Amino acid sequence: MSSLSRIKTALVGAVALAGLAAGGQALAAESKDPIKLTLHDWTGQLITTKLMGEVLKRGGYNIEYVQADYIAQFAGLKTGDLHVAMEIWETTGRDAMDEATKTGKVVNLGETGMQAIEEWWYPLYMKEKCPGLPDWKALNDCAEAFSTPETAPRGRYLGGPVTWGGFDDERAEALELDYEVVHAGTDAALFAELESAYQRKAPILLWVYAPHWAPAKFKGEWVDFPAYTAECYQDPKWGSNPDMAHDCGKPRGPIWKVSWAGLEKKWPGAHKAIKAFTVSNDEMANMIVEVDLNGKKLDDVVSAWIGQNEKRWRTWIGK
């Protein structure tokens, strides 16, 4: 045995030992290559991903976090450059996800346990000006109260970026709402307007989603539209307007986990753990508030959860 290969063996041994020490009982058969989890730019997703990452680390896996765009990441998931994406929202990411899973190179690993809520939302102080809320039928009586100089006498509704879809223009038309739908370009712009209006107690009606810090920071309510059903979106006859679809509220849907198709073969245990991962909306909302509003460090919040929920995540990694 040459000295070089002896050093190599020693190194391999050391690495394996280190892995054992860190992980308790690492599964020897699985690859020690890093599993790459994608990070996006909103706090909830960072928390979900770091939770999963920490759990996998404790299961003896090698983890790497990679910064990637929410939609653009599918290119990487298909080729295996990236391995796991922890939050694909039914409401905003469905199309991209379907397109990717259709190729067979990306697989859906099931729900995260969190439910996305998206709906028209107003701050609570608007209830004084418009007592009929949250019933959607009150919206037309208060159109003037929700108006701005450019839209008066019609009300103004600030929708999400065009890319989020959501059928708000169609909804306003189908329900015959006297509102102009204006689209924000990003959610930063969306909540900047909310913050500005809230500081002045000025009228605002906009698209808010949860889990997010905004419903925790600002007191307000969602508008009560006729509940969503699949027929409402497809069948014009359904609902109050016989000629148009979309005369109801927005669907609420799960937040999905997806991975590169090769994950199951390369890291079977990790695949199982990711499939098993769930957290609830409330848990997530609390953690988001801790980070975004109370200014705690994200990593501290994540390790606090890991400490408190050891039993739960132990079952995910099967130990």
Give the x-and-dash track for 99-138 against another protein (CB under 8 A). Answer: ----------------------------------------
When asked if residue 216 is in the footprint of another protein (CB under 8 A), the reply is no
Between CA 52 and CA 62, with CA 58 as vertex, the angle to 5 degrees is 75
Residue 224 CB, nearest distance to another protein (Å)?
25
Tokens of 57: 């680390």
Among 6, 13, 79, 219, binds another protein (CB under 8 A): 79
Tokens of 168: 């708000």
Integer CA distances (angstroms), 162 to 32, 54, 183, in order? 42, 35, 6
- Please identify, using beta-carbon distances, which residue of 97 and 133 lies nearer to another protein: 97
Quote the DSSP letter at residue 294: T
Residues 136-155 that bind another protein (CB under 8 A): 148-150
- Please identify, using beta-carbon distances, which residue of 134 and 159 lies nearer to another protein: 159
Among 17, 24, 28, 34, binds another protein (CB under 8 A): 34
Contact call for residues 286 and 240 (beta carbons, < 8 A): no
Residues 184-213 that bind another protein (CB under 8 A): 184-193, 195-196, 199-200, 202, 213
| Tokens 């890291």 found at | 267
Q: What interhelical angle do 298-308 and 281-292 show, nearest 10?
A: 140
The HSE-up count of residue 26 (CA atoms within 13 Å, CB side) is: 19
Kindly list the residues in this chain that would bind another protein in the complex (CB under 8 A): 15, 18-19, 22, 32-36, 41-43, 53, 57, 62-64, 66-76, 79, 81-82, 95-96, 148-150, 158, 161-163, 182-193, 195-196, 199-200, 202, 213, 292
